Amino acid sequence: MTDRTEDSGNIQVVLEGAGRKIVVFACTWCALIGADGAGKKRISLPATFRVIPVECISRVEADAVIRAFTSGIDGVAVMGCHLGGCRHNGANLRSARKLELLKPLLDTVGIDSRRLFTSYGTAHEYHQFAQAIESFCSQIGEMPPVSAWSRSFVRAMSARGENE
């Protein structure tokens, strides 16, 4: 685990992506425990992510993910248990299927499905959580802000205005 305060190379990435906003839906049975563990170990992480705890990732509606992107959130992570290890009788498997189905739609319109990070059972442990967050945050940091989408939208709008 690299400590960001010591690794100037990494800090660069953090700063580059500093304006980005990332929301993490974390299942209370796994990823949230991983997050708690990362805290206890005081692992230094980029400060761009905000956690919303959920009982199970099956609570996460695709509409909310869409809404997050359209209101300017650059990355959404949905972190739940192993598929097959769900406390709620496989609820997370169905949910996973649904979220995976959102990805092609995000790609179709160019929002880019890499902005939606799904993890099943890969963030139970503190180091896994930390690693997942780090790589996701730096990936989002390297991508243009999601508002580029709406900006290009507005540009297209005003261009139309001019034409008329």
Partner 1 sequence: MSLREEVLTRVKALLKDRRVDGVLGLSLFEKEPVPCLFEDPFDVDALVIEPKWLLAKLAMNILKTAPQEYRLGLVCRGCDDRAVTELAKRNQLDRNRLTLLGIPCTAEQARKCLCSTPYPREIVAGERVEGMYPMNDEQAQLFLTGSMEERMKRWARELNRCIKCYGCRNVCPICVCIPCKLEDDLWVKRGHIPADMVSYHLIRAFHLSDTCVSCAGCTDTCPVNIPLMLLQVSMRETLKSQYAYEPGLDPERVSPVLTEQEKGEGTLFQEPAWIDSLRGGS
Partner 2 sequence: MGNDRSIRCFLCRCHGEISRVIDLDEVARALKSHPGVRSLDVRNSLCLEEDMDVLASRVEDPDATGLVLGACSLYARGDRIRTALEEKGISPDTVEVVDIREGCSWIHHGQPREATTKAIDLLRMGVALQRHRENPDEVMVDPVREVFVLGAGPAGISAAASLVRLGVRVHLLDRAKSPGGLLNLVKRIAPEDVTSDEYLSQKQQTIFASNGGVSHYPGAKLISAHGSAGDFTISFSSGKTEHAIRVGAVIVATGAKILMPDGLYRHGNLEGVLTGIELERRFKAGQLEGNRVVFIQCVGVRDRKRPYCSAICCIVSLKQACQVLDVDPQAEVFVLHRDIMCPGSVLEKYYRDAMARGVRFLRYEQDRPPVVLGDENVDSVEVYDALTSEMRRIKADLVVLSTPLAPHDDAGRIAELFGLNRDEHGFYEVRTLMHPLETKREGVFVCGSARWPVLGRSAVLQGEAAAMKAYELISRGTLAASRLSTYRERKFSLARVDHEACTGCGNCVAVCPYDACSLEKKEGALKSTVNLIRCSGCGSCVSVCPNGSIQLPGHSAMAIGEMLKAVCEQGS
Q: Is the Cβ–Cβ distance between 3 and 130 less than 8 Å?
A: no
Instruction: Give the residue with the Cβ less far from partner 2, 18 or 159.
Output: 18
Instruction: Give the residue with the Cβ less far from partner 1, 14 or 30.
Output: 30
Q: Is 36 helix (H, G, I), strand (E, B) or coil?
A: helix
Question: Given the rule CB under 8 A, which of 3-11, 12-20, 46-54, 113-121 is the region that contacts partner 1?
Answer: 113-121
Nearest residue to 10 (alpha-carbon basis) of 137, 95, 145: 137
List, in sequence order, every residue forming a beta bridge with 79; answer none if it has no partner: 26, 119
Question: How far is residue 14's CA from residue 20's CA, in Å, rounded to a whole number?
Answer: 10
SS (H, E, C) 51-94: EEEECCHHHCCHHHHHHHHHCCCCEEEEEECCCCCCCCCCHHHH
Q: Does 40 bind partner 2 (CB under 8 A)?
A: yes
Question: How far is residue 29's CA from residue 121's CA, in Å, rounded to a whole number?
Answer: 10
Question: Given the rule CB under 8 A, which of 8-16, 35-43, 45-53, 154-162 is the region that contacts partner 1?
Answer: 154-162
Question: Given the rule CB under 8 A, which of 9-17, 21-29, 45-53, 127-135 is the region that contacts partner 1?
Answer: 127-135
Instruction: Give the residue with the Cβ less far from partner 1, 54 or 69.
Output: 69
Binds 108, which of partner 2, partner 1, none (CB < 5 to 8 A, cut-off by type)?
A: partner 1
Q: Does 135 bind partner 2 (CB under 8 A)?
A: no
Q: Which residues bind to partner 2, rule: CB under 8 A?
A: 4-5, 14, 18-19, 21, 23, 28, 32-33, 35-36, 38-40, 42-45, 47-48, 50-56, 58-64, 67-68, 71-73, 84-91, 94-95, 98
